[in-house]
Amino acid sequence: MKGLFISMEGPDGSGKSTQIDLLKKYFNDKGIECIITREPGGTNISEKVRGIILDKNNSEMDYMTELLLYASARAQLVAEVIIPALNEGKCVISDRFVDSSAVYQGIARGLGIETVYEVNKYATRGRFPDKTFLLDLPAEAGIARKKKQAELDRLESEKLEFHQRVAEGYREMAARDPERIVKLDATKTVEEIHEAIISVIEELMNFADALR
């Protein structure tokens, strides 16, 4: 297996970007080349799709359209950035990936996880993250953090019940795939969460070394 593919997941305002920056620094200090991508976005085309998805004026957007737009932004990111980087042996940290679609569109919007996987089989080319960190946070806390930072986008402006379904949906996903998805308590300090992430990464790297 080439490269290392990590995704960071969690409700809006769960502190993903802070942890991603710290993890990138950890890899760089070890001399491991690492790129960060964000979803939806990360390529010229995907950023344009992001604009359409998150635009608050697009209030009439059908949920299936939403699912397919996220998947199309992902397909371009996977083809243009993620697979080439992994093939070069780099580490890729993605701020959200297919679990976001499973939770937001599959569970919270009610389209069903199976539908999401069916579509994303093509978008991801079957490449799932090697490890996924879930920053678990009560919905109220995440949205309160976001409100302090900036104006809310189309998804963030959803009702509290939607965000509660998201938070609960993430827990459900982690329970379905406990091997890949590591659930962390996002109310802990930044340092505590970083330490927990590093210990999982070190275990993963020791395992990869042992296989060589």
| Residues lying near ligand TYD in the complex (CB under 6 A) | 12, 38-40, 70, 95-96, 100-101, 104-105, 153, 155-156
Three-state DSSP state, 43:
coil
In the complex, minimum distance from the CB of residue 43 to ligand TYD, in angstroms, rounded to a whole number: 14
**Helix ranges (DSSP H) in the chain:** 16-29, 44-54, 63-77, 83-87, 98-101, 113-123, 139-149, 160-176, 190-211
Task: Closer to ligand TYD by CB, 34 or 75: give it.
Answer: 75
In the complex, minimum distance from the CB of residue 103 to ligand TYD, in angstroms, rounded to a whole number: 8
Task: Closer to ligand TYD by CB, 19 or 101: give it.
Answer: 101
Task: Closer to ligand TYD by CB, 39 or 136: give it.
Answer: 39
Residue of minimal Cβ distance to ligand TYD: 104
CA-nearest of 88, 91, 86, 102 to 134 is: 102
Distance of CA 200 to the CA centre of its chain: 17
Q: Please, which residues bridge with residue 185 across strands? A: 136
In the complex, minimum distance from the CB of residue 200 to ligand TYD, in angstroms, rounded to a whole number: 21
In the complex, minimum distance from the CB of residue 62 to ligand TYD, in angstroms, rounded to a whole number: 14
Q: Please, which residues bridge with residue 8 across strands? A: 95, 133
Task: Closer to ligand TYD by CB, 95 or 136: give it.
Answer: 95
CA-nearest of 73, 63, 114, 61 to 97 is: 73
Task: Closer to ligand TYD by CB, 88 or 161: give it.
Answer: 161
In the complex, minimum distance from the CB of residue 65 to ligand TYD, in angstroms, rounded to a whole number: 12
Q: Is the peptide bond before 40 cis (omega within 30 degrees of 0)?
A: yes
